Amino acid sequence: MDYLENAEEAAFRMGVRAWLAENAPKDWRARYPTEDDLARLHREWQRTLYDGGYVGLSWPVDYGGRGLSATYEAILNDELGKADTPRISFHNYLGRAIFTYGTEAQKQRFLPPMLRGEIQWCQGFSEPGAGSDLASLRTSAVLDGDHYVVNGQKMWTSGAQHADWCILLVRTDRDAPKHKGITCLLAPVNQPGITVRPIHISDGSPETCEMFFDDVRVPVTQRIGDPGAGWRIAMTVLAFERGPADVGLIATFQTALAKLETYAEERAIDRDPQIRQAIARTYVIGEVLRLNVVEQLSLRNAGRPPGPDGSVARLLLTQAEQALRSLEFRLRAADAVSGRAPDVLANYLRSRTISIFGGTSEIQKNILAGQVLGLPR
């Protein structure tokens, strides 16, 4: 075990930091106020990072990556979080499906432009009747010559209004057991038969989308993996989605907590024992999450793909973010109610959705109980 970065890693971190100081967009929240502006910014930023050599660090060189260990991705994400840059695209987890299960032609077609930020993705998994019970999804795809014809509805397809492509789970075999009859397709979002509608959350912001499919034709060449392999592909994708290291959460968590500590100090409420304890507890949860990230990273470097214990990370991430944002809301309630600090409410609401999106905490606990602890169903 070694809790310190080696010389190359430390040098890489310094390099990233210096590069970000030069290249990271400044004051971007004010300069890109609308959803559309932000979507444009994300593309530009992804391209800037790519040109700087910072996209696809752990991806194979053949597909536009740099072939480094996962530690470098984590260091990059950490520095991105510290520098408070715009978020980067989902290539690390949606790309994983194409990388792991795609044909050589599909990899060549999709991976390089994905890393360059030219293709933005959304995830068409959930449906009105298929949330926690994802395998009961009903959107159908029927083979017609060399095309699938897709009909149905997808929910919570975040980013669909700005996405170019959608990774879709569809039912291709009604007679197979529910986990076996699912197939994975890739479909361009802007094509006849697809309607995207934004879904607003309770603070009024267009947080996510739903998509309607009406006789949408998808070439068979855009199927990932074999017919019926969709469930396994989805589980791979979701396992990667769960990782807190992939989103640079540790750094944003630490930055936000430090800001709250300063806030409490400035307003002289840092002597209140209740607040001191709440800050201390939040700090501890963040530290535990950080250690989990380091451990998962070591396992990934040792060649082990993420498995069911990714649910531990997901639960810790949820706890940490919810503790942090509850604390922020508690300290800054007056600013939130008066509308002086609209971020406080938005952060709080978003933190409450983390225990739902990408697999509810209840499902994560079921996975741990069944697949890690081996308890009977």
Partner 1 sequence: MDLAFDDTQAAIKDSCERLFARHAGPARARDLRRDNGCDRALVQALEGDGFADLFGADGAGPLTAALVVEWAGEAAALAPIGNRLLVAPALLAETPPTMVAVADADRLDAVRFAADADLLIVIDGDEVRVAARGDFAAVPVKSKFGYPFAQVSDVRGTPLAPGSGAVARRWRQVAIAAEIAGTARAALDLTTRYLRERLQFGKAIATFQAVQHRIAELHVSVDSAEWAVREAAWHHARADLAAAAALTACEAAQRAFQETHQLTGAMGFTIEYDLHLWTMRLQALRHEGGGPRAHARDLVRARWKENG
> Residues 1, 202, 268, 280: which binds partner 1 (CB under 8 A)?
202
Which region among 50-58, 67-75, 185-193, 196-204 touches partner 1 (by CB under 8 A)? 196-204
Nearest to partner 1 of 73, 127 (CB atom): 127
Do the beta carbons of residue 210 and residue 129 sit within 8 Å? no
- The one catalytic residue among 79, 127, 207, 241: 241
Contacts of 228 (CB under 8 A, 6+ apart): 172, 173, 176, 180, 181, 182, 183
Contact flag: residue 201 with partner 1 (CB under 8 A)? yes
Contact flag: residue 333 with partner 1 (CB under 8 A)? yes
Angle at 341 between CA 336 and CA 344, to 5 degrees: 65
For residue 199, the minimal CB distance to partner 1 (Å) is: 6
Contact flag: residue 353 with partner 1 (CB under 8 A)? yes
Angle at 234 between CA 192 and CA 124, to 5 degrees: 25
User: Which amino acid is it at 7?
Assistant: A
For residue 155, the minimal CB distance to partner 1 (Å) is: 7
Contact flag: residue 349 with partner 1 (CB under 8 A)? yes
Residues in contact with partner 1, total (CB under 8 A)? Answer: 40
Contact flag: residue 133 with partner 1 (CB under 8 A)? yes
Contact flag: residue 374 with partner 1 (CB under 8 A)? no
The whole-angstrom separation of Cα 75 and Cα 231 is 31
> Residues 334, 370, 371, 375: which binds partner 1 (CB under 8 A)?
334
Structure tokens that stand for 46 in this block: 């992804």
Which region among 101-109, 115-123, 225-233, 325-333 touches partner 1 (by CB under 8 A)? 325-333
Contact flag: residue 136 with partner 1 (CB under 8 A)? yes
Q: Which of residues 234-273 bind partner 1 (CB under 8 A)?
A: 272
> Residues 36, 337, 343, 371: which binds partner 1 (CB under 8 A)?
337
Q: At what angle do helices 7-23 and 70-82 cross, to 10 degrees?
A: 40
> Residues 338, 373, 374, 376: which binds partner 1 (CB under 8 A)?
338
Q: 53-62: long-range contacts at Cβ-Cβ below 8 A with a sequence spacing of 24 or more?
A: 54/16, 54/19, 55/88, 55/91, 55/115, 55/116, 55/117, 56/91, 56/115, 59/95, 59/99, 59/111, 59/115
Render the burial of 321-354: b for 16+ CB within 10 Å, e for the rest: bbbbbbbbbebbeebbeeeebeebbbbbbbbebb
Residues 148-167 as x/- pattern, contact with partner 1 by CB under 8 A: -------xx-----------
For residue 272, the minimal CB distance to partner 1 (Å) is: 7
**Residue 241 appears among annotated catalytic residues:** yes
Nearest to partner 1 of 204, 376 (CB atom): 204
Tell me the CB-side half-sphere exposure of residue 234, using CA atoms within 13 A: 25
Given the rule CB under 8 A, which residues bind partner 1? 126, 129-133, 136, 155-156, 199-204, 207-208, 272, 274, 329-330, 333-334, 336-340, 342, 345, 349, 352-353, 355-357, 360-362, 365
Just list the catalytic residues: 241
